[in-house]
């Protein structure tokens, strides 16, 4: 079965690494594992960061033209070679899907969405145009896969008759990561690790909150490795500057073998996760047995199981964040149990399980890998 994949926020082959790009790639892999032949005919980014109605309308017009051109091409194919589903990943008022619903309607095939969110408060104001388009797309979906449990209440309340909500927990492909022997020590100084792009907004807020928490810790109890780069690097460097040699900066790490080694060599992933939808970094670390201390935002509790694969603290509270790290510095034997819990979590969130959910929900015909 051919499936059209639409990713209005960031396509899976975008050059800039991010959690969104990684989840898009994983969804494509899961669809393929479930028996789909995936087509990605449109790579227009619908992202409007600032509520610019003119930009949204221009992007919507471009996506409409692209959809009509693709429909013309599809209609020239033999019927058996035409797509039978349209699948959209990450749809919301800042990045509405215009291409996907139009193609689905033009071909007369189902349209479904993974990680779609509704924001009624955005019906008025600078993002009103994006909100209208996002709501129209969500209303057109026959199935919405819920990846962030926080989205479910509003999706349930506003879903049209006949629309299904299907839970699809965040997952990863363990086969895409090398097996690395853990080298963590579990004794002071604890080796802490942060992995995130350096951008203005929530990412920078998280780095600054992390710095505020580290300032409350005894200086001889920890070191920090930082993986990431981006336009806010100077601001991140300034926030971490007071800690001197205790912080090692690795820049952007694209090689998975090297990144896996950093996860495996850390005692603890530390990330405040300000306004994160869920955070793929937590699952990547868990795969290497690295537990986390994280802020309790959005869907983070679904990828950091409090007391089992890590420790959750109230969002935006540097004192609570520092206290959680300090407790593990004082009781490093707890890290072994958290590490085992992290590995269990990662093992339960594999590609095959996600493929099975997609196969059953969408009626995909292919056999799952052993």
**pTM score, two decimals?**
0.93
Q: How would CATH label the architecture of 175-348?
A: 3-Layer(aba) Sandwich (3.40)
- Backbone φ, ψ for residue 96 (5° rounding): -75, 155
Q: Which residues of 198-232 are buried (b: 16+ CB within 10 A; e: fewer)?
A: bbeeebbebbbbbbbbbeebeeebbbbbbbbbbeb
Q: Which residue, among 16, 117, 98, 91, has the nearest Cα to 57 in the 3D structure?
A: 98
Q: What is the pLDDT of residue 114?
A: 98
* Extents of the domains making up the chain: 2-171+350-362, 175-348
- Whether 2-171+350-362 shares its CATH topology with 175-348 is answered yes
- State how far the Cα of 167 lies from the Cα of 170, in Å rounded to an integer: 10
Q: What is the pLDDT of residue 366?
A: 63
Owner of token pair 């707890």: 334
CA dihedral 355, 360, 366, 368 (to 10 degrees): 40
Q: Which residue, among 98, 14, 30, has the nearest Cα to 369 in the 3D structure?
A: 30
- Backbone φ, ψ for residue 82 (5° rounding): -90, 150
Contact 164, 142 (CB under 8 A): yes
- Backbone φ, ψ for residue 366 (5° rounding): -75, 160
Q: How would CATH label the architecture of 2-171+350-362?
A: 3-Layer(aba) Sandwich (3.40)
Q: Which residues of the chain have pLDDT under 50?
A: 368-370
Instruction: State the sign of the Cα–Cα–Cα–Cα dihedral 234, 235, 240, 241.
Output: positive
pLDDT in tens, 16-50: 888 899 999 999 999 999 999 999 999 999 999 99
**Does residue 271 have a cis peptide bond before it, meaning omega lies within 30 degrees of 0?**
no
């Amino acid at each position: 079965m051919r499936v059209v994949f639409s990713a209005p926020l960031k396509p899976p082959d975008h050059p800039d690494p991010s959690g969104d790009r990684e989840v898009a790639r994983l969804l494509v892999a899961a669809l393929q594992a479930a028996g789909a032949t995936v087509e990605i005919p449109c790579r227009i980014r619908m992202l409007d960061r600032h509520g610019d109605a003119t930009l949204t309308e221009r992007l919507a017009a471009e996506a409409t033209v692209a959809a009509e051109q693709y429909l013309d091409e599809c209609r020239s194919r033999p019927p058996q070679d035409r797509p039978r589903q349209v699948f959209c990943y990450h749809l919301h008022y800042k990045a509405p899907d215009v291409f996907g619903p139009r193609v689905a309607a033009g071909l007369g095939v189902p349209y479904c969405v993974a990680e779609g969110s509704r924001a009624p408060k955005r019906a008025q104001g600078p993002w009103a145009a994006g909100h209208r388009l996002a709501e129209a797309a969500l209303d057109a979906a026959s199935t919405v896969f819920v990846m962030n449990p926080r989205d479910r209440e509003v999706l349930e309340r506003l879903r049209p008759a006949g629309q299904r909500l299907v839970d699809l927990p965040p997952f990863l492909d363990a086969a895409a990561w090398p097996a690395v022997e853990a080298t963590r020590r579990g004794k002071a100084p604890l080796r802490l690790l942060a992995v995130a792009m350096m951008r203005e907004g929530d990412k920078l807020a998280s780095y600054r909150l992390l710095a505020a928490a580290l300032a409350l810790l005894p200086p001889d109890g920890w070191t920090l490795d930082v993986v990431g780069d981006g336009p806010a690097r100077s601001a991140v460097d300034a926030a971490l500057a007071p800690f001197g040699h205790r912080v090692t900066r690795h820049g952007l790490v694209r090689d998975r073998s090297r990144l896996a080694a950093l996860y495996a060599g850390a005692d603890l992933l530390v990330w405040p996760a300000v306004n994160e939808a869920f955070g793929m970094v937590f699952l990547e670390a868990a795969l290497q047995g690295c537990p986390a201390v994280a802020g309790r935002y959005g869907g983070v509790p679904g990828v950091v199981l409090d007391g089992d694969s890590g420790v959750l603290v109230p969002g935006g509270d540097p004192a609570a964040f520092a206290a959680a790290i300090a407790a593990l510095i004082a009781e490093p034997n707890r890290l072994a149990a958290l590490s085992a819990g992290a590995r269990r979590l990662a093992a339960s969130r594999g590609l095959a399980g996600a493929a099975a959910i997609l196969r059953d929900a969408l009626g995909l015909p292919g056999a799952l890998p052993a």
